[in-house]
Structure 1
């Protein structure tokens, strides 16, 4: 079996994969200089891609899937596979019988912690008060609406998408004494720390009860821009919205209008809309309406996963997928190519 790493792997990473895989496995990776080691070019891997049995990595250069006629499995080192859907790889995989796996759950705790950081930053007006302290500003009058913090204890948080990440968010929220409402495709599946579970068809009624709403749902054809004017209108004007899933879940224009009109109290995100050429014009990878500059917005840019131990865990879990495949075992993180997750 030949495994092709789709990044400029270190010697230690290659040795780790070889030790984990069955004896005789050939593990290869791009060689030479690079700008970012977690990606590669067509020319970097063209020769090895032709007869590779397995891929593992974060990116796939354009044209590589077409020449890789022997590949039987892709171990994708991301939780989401919507990028693969956009480049047509999931369709190709279905046609050729290629297995696709991910590392869902590997960064669940890190992303959940970031989500709670956003909840706290919005509720406690962290950026406003930090800047005021730097400028030696005193807030007056006391308990004024413009600088009074919100509470978490006793408040209701809605977790939209109760998978690995959403489950950890619920657990964290319970630590703050919050009441947790979950929304997921299969509401019959129980989840620890969720007080009540609801289906997607109940989303708007759930939103009206929540003081905080966190989006942790996959980006699929069904959920693409599913959170729009009607969903925002269903929320309390005093509520906060947090998105730690995918930027294209939320429609930008109604979100901007709600944040600038007082219809929504605040918004936080680690992800922004991706206006990809071919799907929208002009292409852009930041909010068109500059939502990130608003005073009631807190943001980071794809940093939820950038935490201690995450790189090592991504590779470990990705290799586990390959080991299971090589040994003919059931794939625990197999992607349903029809559902897209």
Structure 2
């Protein structure tokens, strides 16, 4: 079996994969200089791709799946596979019978902690008070509306999407004595630390009860721009919205209007709206209305997973996918090619 790493893997990483796999496994990776070691080009790997049985990585150069005629499995070192759908890899895999497995849950702890950081940072007006401290400025009068912190204890948080990440957000929210309401596709499946679970058809009812709303829902056709004017109108004006999932979940124009009119107290996001070329004109990788500059908005620019242990867990779980495949075992994290997750 030949495994092709789609990044400039270190010798330690290559040896880790070799050691986990059957003894006759060949593990190869692109060599030479690189700008980012977590990606490669078609020319870097074309000579390896033509006879690779498995590929593992964070990116797939255009044209590689087409020439990898022996390919049997893709171990995708992400949770979401929407980029594979857009590039046609999912369709090609379905046509050829290629298995695709991801590493869903590998960054769940880091992302859940980031979500709670956002909740606290919005509630406690962290940026405002840090800037005041830097300027040696005393916020006055005491308990003024513009600088009084919000409270978590006894308040209600709605977690939209209670999977690997959402369930961990619920657990951490309980540590702050919050009431937790969950919304998920299958509301019959109970989750620890969620006080009540609801289906997507009950979303508006949940939103009107919440002081904090966290979006942790998968990226599918159904969730693309699903949160807009009506959903924002259903929220309390005193509520905060946190998006720890995809920037395209929330419609930017109604969000901007809600944030600038006082209809929404604050917004935090790990990712901004992304206007992809071919779907939008003009294309842009930044918010069109510059929501990131509003005083009641904070963001982390896709950095929630950039934390201790996460890279190692990506490679560990991605390797587990290959080990299971080589042993002809069911893939624990196999992607349903019809559902796209």
Instruction: Provide the C-alpha distance between the structure 2 equivalents of 1:50 and 1:203, rounded to a whole number of angstroms.
Output: 48
Which structure 1 segments of 5+ residues have no match? none
Deviation at 1:298? 0.8
- Aligned partner of 1:173 in structure 2 is 173
Q: Compute the displacement of 1:96 (Å).
A: 1.2
Task: Give a deviation string over 1:305-324, Cα, whole Å, max 9, x none.
Answer: 11011111100000000000
Moved over 3 A (4+): none
How many residues matched?
Answer: 341
Cα RMSD over matched residues?
0.7
Measure the CA separation in 1 of the matches of 2:82 and 2:193: 28
State the SS of the aligned residue for 1:292: helix
Q: C-alpha displacement at 1:138, in angstroms?
A: 1.1
Deviations 1:58-107 (A, max 9, x none): 00001111111111111000111111111111111111111111111111
* TM-score normalised to structure 1 length: 0.99
The reply to whether residue 299 of structure 1 matches residue 299 of structure 2 is yes
Structure 2 segments unaligned to the other structure (5+ residues): none
2:208 & 2:51 partners in 1: Cα distance? 54
Counterpart residue number, 1:40: 40
1:249-287 residue CA offsets vs partner (Å, 9 max, x unmatched):
111110001000000000000111111111111111111
- For 2:67, the equivalent position in structure 1 comes to 67
1:270 aligns with 2:297: no
Offset of 1:56 from its aligned partner? Answer: 0.2
**Could you list the per-position Cα deviations for residues 38-66 of structure 1 after superposition, in whole angstroms to 9, with x for gaps in the alignment?**
00000000011111110100000011111
Distance, in Å, in 1 between the alignment partners of 2:2 and 2:153 is 53
Local SS of the residue matching 1:131: helix
1:311 equivalent to 2:325? Answer: no
Q: Counterpart in 1 of 2:161?
A: 161
Which residue number in structure 1 is paired with residue 123 of structure 2? 123
| Structure 2 length-normalised TM | 0.99
2:9 match: 9
SS class of match (1:66): helix
